[in-house]
Amino acid sequence: MGTVRLEGASFYAYHGVYPEEKVLGNQFLVDIELTYSFRKAMEEDALEGTVDYGELYAITSKHMQTPVKLLEHLAHLIIEETLQMYPESQRIAVTIKKQQPAVGGLVAYSSVTVNYPEDYD
């Protein structure tokens, strides 16, 4: 097993519970980490034996464009579609950071991490 990561994918999106978040939007950063057997890729130098970063980005981008209330739900949607594309994944972690969240003070970002399978028990 090895680990494949896509880190710091940046999106401007409209996720949040509060009405102003749905109007003003915010900058989000997404990290995805998969534990996956990429032995075939190591031995055969073939993209079919590993996780395609472009596919991970496309999955994430699609879900970032559809507003949801909670980052936990958004991470879950990304994990579910990633599992459909890469069912052999042993573990998937999705971290979503909302930059400068509206919390009444100066904060760099808030974040949520959802882990598969740990958070799916």
Domain carrying residue 62 = 2-120
Per the annotation, the verdict on 69 as an active-site residue is no
Note the pLDDT tens digit of each residue in 27-81: 999 999 999 998 888 899 988 888 999 999 999 999 999 999 999 999 999 999 9
| Residue 113 CB burial class (10 angstroms; 0-12, 13-18, ≥19) | middle
Which CATH number characterizes residue 90's domain? 3.30.1130.10
pTM: 0.93
Q: Which of 22, 40, 97, 98 is catalytic?
A: 98
Q: Is the pLDDT assigned to residue 116 strictly greater than 90? A: yes
Would you say 20 and 102 are in contact if contact means Cβ atoms under 8 Å apart?
yes
